[in-house]
Amino acid sequence: MHTQIIPADDELAVISAAGNLTAGNLVGLPTETVYGLGANGLNPEAVAKIFEVKGRPQDNPLILHIADPEQMDMFCHNIPESAYRLAEAFWPGPLTMVLPAKDIVPLSTRAGLPTVAVRCPDCDVTRRIIRHANIPVAAPSANISGKPSTTTAEHVLHDHDGKIPLIIDGGACAVGVESTIVDLTENPPRLLRPGGITPEQLIAVLGDLVIDKAVTAQIDKDEVVKAPGMKYRHYAPAEPVIIVAGERKKAAEYIHRHFEPGDRVLCFEEELPLYADCNPLSYGQEADVNTLSAGLFAALRELDDSSIGKVYARCPVGGGVAYAVQNRLKKAAAFHIVDAEVAL
Ligand code: TXA
Ligand code: MG
């Protein structure tokens, strides 16, 4: 199969993508967070292709993407008032809500769960595609399962060249980490995955929020978790990643003490001069956390190379979007963190 790339501003983009989706094919689609691998979310055969092409475990449900916030009622029921408030505040945008599913949502889309995750992405071309196809689009991040997510059309092509007919190229994703996921079937609501909408923003609307254990710690493969996707190894390059926490100078000292030929350093742009002899790669500026979230996955993909020994990574501190960056980096590092202030 030849994989075609059509720019988002090409007049054929919407028609071709919608045509492929209604025909039951997969399409690589841009969103403001990461690129998705989209299929007709109401068609079990089309949805099955997502699992096959990504190599995704069958028990990991998909997010259903809608074009307009009002469509939430078509696919969910018993919707609490708080969900409408969140939709009003953050949709279209990088927020996914877990709600009780209506029967119209096939079990394969939600991996057999009674709930479905819905999101209205802040991406004009993808919303136009969904409207034109007149179906909700089930889409995971377009990366091969376990690998860093896709934030450009080239990343999608790299992972799926010849396996899907079409990718819509909307340029690099602005947010760069996947959407925030909130489970609204519980009270208080539960944060299942941090993202572009921050815990602080959620609390301002909801009043209260529980942080799921899977956000902050490694989950055992056999543990029962709320977001099944959170227990799998994620975002991981081929080699081990070690987060080196602590003050800038102490971290550089620690890394220099342990650095071996073939290792790499993933750091902030401001730190590049400190690691001139350690083959450093910067993923953004510490002073602007949005550049870190936007650059993280491209950097992790660049470092996905089995000839690399280890990667020493620097991670931003604090809340807001930094909280999501910490979560992704910790998962990429399988929660291997050393504190340079105390470690030898
Ligand atoms: O930003 C995003 O959300 C991107 C773009 C393409 O929209 N999509 C994305 O999908 O990140 P994916 O499949 O990579 O991650 C979806 C996560 C998984 O961890 C999955 O377990 C969880 O959402 N999820 C989906 N449905 C769920 C449900 N009903 N209950 C709990 N967790 C659910
Ligand atoms: Mg994913």
Helix, strand, or coil here: 181?
Answer: strand
pLDDT of res. 232 = 64
Is residue 225 predicted with pLDDT exceeding 80? no
Confidence band for 344, pLDDT divided at 50, 70 and 90: confident
Which tens digits make up the pLDDT trace of 132-147? Answer: 999 999 999 999 998 9
Nearest to 315 by CA among 284, 278, 342, 274: 284
Could you tell me the pTM of the whole model? 0.96
Mean pLDDT, the chain, whole residue set: 95
DSSP state of 41: T
- Cβ pair 235, 147 in contact under 8 A: yes
Mean pLDDT in residue range 243-260: 97
pLDDT recorded at residue 335: 92
Nearest atom of ligand 1 to the alpha carbon of 116: 29
Split at pLDDT 50, 70, 90, the class of 233 is low
Q: Which of the listed residues 147, 181, 183, 223 should we mutate to test ligand 1's pocket, taking the one with most ligand atoms within 8 A of CB? A: 181
Ligand nearest to the CA of 146: 2
How large is the average pLDDT for residues 43-63? 96
Q: In what order do the strands lie in the sheet with 115-119?
A: 4-7, 166-169, 27-29, 36-40, 137-138, 63-65, 115-119, 95-100, 180-183, 190-193, 210-211
Which among 30, 287, 224, 215 is positioned nearest to 137, based on CA atoms?
A: 30
H or E element that contains 180: strand 180-183
- Which residues have CB atoms below 5 A from the ion given as ligand 2? 141
The whole-number average pLDDT for the span 307-333 is 96
pLDDT of residue 230: 67
The identity of residue 111, as a single letter, is A
Q: Atom 31 of ligand 1 has which residue's CA nearest to it? A: 227
List phi, psi (to 5°) of 166. -150, 140
CA of 54 to the centre of ligand 2 (A): 10
* Inter-residue contact 338 to 220 (CB < 8 Å): no
DSSP result, 61-119? --EEE-SSGGGHHHHB-S--HHHHHHHHHH-SSSEEEEEEBPTTS-TTTTTT-SEEEEE
Atom of ligand 1 nearest to the CA of 38: 6
Q: Whose CA is nearest to atom 17 of ligand 1?
A: 229
Containing 126, the helix (H) or strand (E) segment is: helix 124-133
pLDDT over 80 (residue 218):
no
